[in-house]
């Protein structure tokens, strides 16, 4: 009896796992059609640290670039 119950539970778990995997929508389905760029990093903290240490990151944080960065952010917030 225990083997039957265990087999049924294992089968239900397997079926629900397969259905859950199929239910996960793709990025194309989640994002609006106007999306231009999507970036992903498996380890955000590490990616942020490496970007800040790079020449691009230092330029992004520079005082000379701050007015452009503010204008860019304001443009995103307005839309």
Q: Where are the domains of the chain?
A: 2-78
Does the pLDDT at position 79 exceed 70? no
Provide the whole-model pTM.
0.49
Burial level of 60, CB count in 10 A (0-12/13-18/19+)? middle
Q: How confident is the model at residue 29 (pLDDT cuts 50, 70, 90)?
A: confident
Residue that wins the pLDDT comparison between 20 and 43 = 43
pLDDT greater at residue 7 or residue 76? 76
> By the 8 A CB rule, do 69 and 78 touch?
no
């Amino acid at each position: 009896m225990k083997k039957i119950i265990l087999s049924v539970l294992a089968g239900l778990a397997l079926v629900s796992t397969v259905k859950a995997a199929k239910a996960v929508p793709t990025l194309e389905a989640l994002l609006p059609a106007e999306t231009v760029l999507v970036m992903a990093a498996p380890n955000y903290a590490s990616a942020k640290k490496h970007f800040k240490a790079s020449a691009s990151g230092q330029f992004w944080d520079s005082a000379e670039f701050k007015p452009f960065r503010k204008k860019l952010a304001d443009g995103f917030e307005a839309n």
